[in-house]
């Protein structure tokens, strides 16, 4: 209700400063039990019962500072991170740009975060609290052994996570996306699952939208031959569809509304490549219940959003969940799980 009034003021601020201000505001909110969700919206992936398919994508709460406050806003789950073994400053500023005319964002943050020790301390304090909190893990930019970084992060974070996400698809860490290739991906996953050991923590893999058909098929083959619980489609893109903003030529990953067509197509590509045998999670340009529904019927079990909140406010997740409940009834589905992939 108040966001349309506050947005013009927030948009006068540097985007990164506005982001920090929003985190500071969330820290002031009381953190009780998450609100109840429509039971028809529940989705279960690898034993984890998500009360709603609408979640917060990583990048917003990089250091696990406000997951409970975000759950209190009506999101069904929150994914914090990306967290790396050691703290790192990320890339030089400015590195975050609003493309208001396009309802988009370009970022080249570079996995800026306070490191595993600080995040582990915060997450340990919330252990036992209700709510689904996933942890997105990455490798340090200057690491000599990135696979070892992911294994270490798995060992540290698996006991505290509802699920883990391996992020090898950020375009802002040089060479990181090379880990998406067949042999490198297999070695990475072998290291991660060895580090997970006997823990039951599900592991998701987040992928880039900038993939060729042969790469999609190779990734799908590796994924299906592994214990991965889900694929997240997709991260930001290096592509540049037609854009109106003066910031259109900034380097970095593009997110928001212009990413939606590409992210939807990649979701469909991975649904076809995997034969629907592994759950898919949709991200990229989801800003309404209609957009979320389009991904769900195309094969997504869950949806995530972040950039859309810049333009539509922090209550967007609650509004989308309400809209999905209404859409279920209108379409004659008893549950969201019945709708997943119904038009794939």
Rounded distance between C-alpha atoms, residue 119 and residue 86, angstroms: 11
**Angle subtended at Cα 180 by Cα 55 and Cα 49, rounded to the nearest 5 degrees:** 25
Burial 310-340 (b: 16+ CB within 10 A, else e): bbbbbebbbebbbbbbebbeeeebeebbebb
Measured between alpha carbons, how far is 285 from 92 in angstroms, rounded to an integer? 26
Positive or negative CA dihedral for 328, 329, 330, 332? Answer: positive
Q: State yes or no: is 288 an active-site residue.
A: no
Choose, from 170, 226, 301, 325, the residue flagged as catalytic: 170
Radius of gyration of the chain (CA): 18
Q: Where in the sequence numbering do the catalytic residues fall? A: 170
């Amino acid at each position: 209700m108040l966001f349309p009034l506050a947005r013009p003021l927030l948009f006068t601020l540097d985007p990164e400063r506005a982001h920090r201000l929003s985190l500071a505001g969330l820290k002031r909110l009381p953190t009780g039990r998450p609100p109840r969700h429509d039971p028809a919206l529940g989705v279960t992936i690898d034993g984890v019962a998500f009360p709603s398919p609408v979640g917060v994508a990583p990048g917003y709460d990089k250091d696990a500072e406000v997951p409970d406050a975000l759950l209190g806003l009506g999101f069904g789950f929150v994914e914090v991170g990306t967290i790396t073994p050691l703290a790192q400053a990320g890339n030089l500023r400015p590195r975050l740009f609003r493309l208001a005319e396009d309802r988009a964002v370009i970022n080249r943050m570079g996995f800026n975060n306070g490191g595993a020790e600080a995040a582990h301390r915060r997450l340990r304090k919330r252990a036992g609290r209700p709510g689904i909190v996933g942890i997105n893990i990455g490798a340090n930019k200057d690491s000599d052994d990135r696979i070892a970084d992911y294994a270490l992060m798995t060992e540290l974070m698996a006991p505290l996570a509802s699920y883990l996400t391996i992020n090898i698809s950020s375009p802002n860490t040089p060479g990181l996306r090379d880990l998406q290739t067949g042999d490198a991906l297999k070695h990475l996953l072998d290291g991660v699952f060895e580090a997970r050991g006997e823990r039951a923590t599900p592991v998701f893999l987040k992928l880039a939208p900038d993939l060729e058909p042969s790469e999609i098929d190779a990734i799908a083959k590796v994924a299906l031959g592994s214990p991965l619980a889900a694929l997240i489609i997709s991260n930001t893109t290096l592509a540049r569809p037609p854009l109106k903003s003066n910031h259109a030529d900034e380097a970095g990953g593009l997110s928001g509304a212009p990413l939606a067509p590409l992210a939807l197509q990649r979701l469909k590509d991975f649904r076809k490549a995997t034969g629907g045998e592994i759950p898919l999670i949709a991200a990229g340009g989801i800003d309404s219940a209609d957009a979320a529904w389009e991904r769900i019927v195309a094969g997504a079990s869950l949806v995530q959003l972040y950039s859309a909140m810049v333009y539509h406010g922090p209550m967007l997740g609650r509004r989308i969940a309400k809209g999905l409940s209404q859409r279920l009834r209108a379409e004659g589905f008893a549950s969201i799980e019945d709708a997943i992939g119904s038009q794939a």
